[in-house]
Amino acid sequence: QTSSLWDSFAYTLAILYYENFKNAYRSEQGYIKKDVLIKDILFYLNNNYREKITLEQLSKKFRASVSYICHEFTKEYRISPINYVIQRRMTE
């Protein structure tokens, strides 16, 4: 019985985490909060630049299209996400 209680608790936590993540980059109207999204992408790139990173991975992880991520990241930092990773690796 204790096991099923823990399973239920774990399931509830998973649902709460999913619901929180699902809305992390969305305003109440459903629009993407691009300033938060782009800063989180930069943070992710800085912490994972040694790994293989693709635009498709970023798209799935941050739930935004590849073109949107590229456009907004480049607009904010004047460099594409992939070129940023390459530059970051070279300065290591």
User: What is the pLDDT at residue 51?
Assistant: 95
User: What is the pLDDT at residue 19?
Assistant: 56
Per-residue pLDDT of the chain (92 residues; tens, 9 = 90+): 566 677 676 767 666 655 555 555 555 555 556 678 898 999 999 999 999 999 999 999 998 899 999 999 999 999 999 999 999 999 87
Per CATH, the number for 26-90 is 1.10.10
State the Cα–Cα distance between residues 15 and 71, nearest whole angstrom: 32
Query: In which residue are the tokens 């969305």 written?
Result: 26
Look up the pTM and report it.
0.66
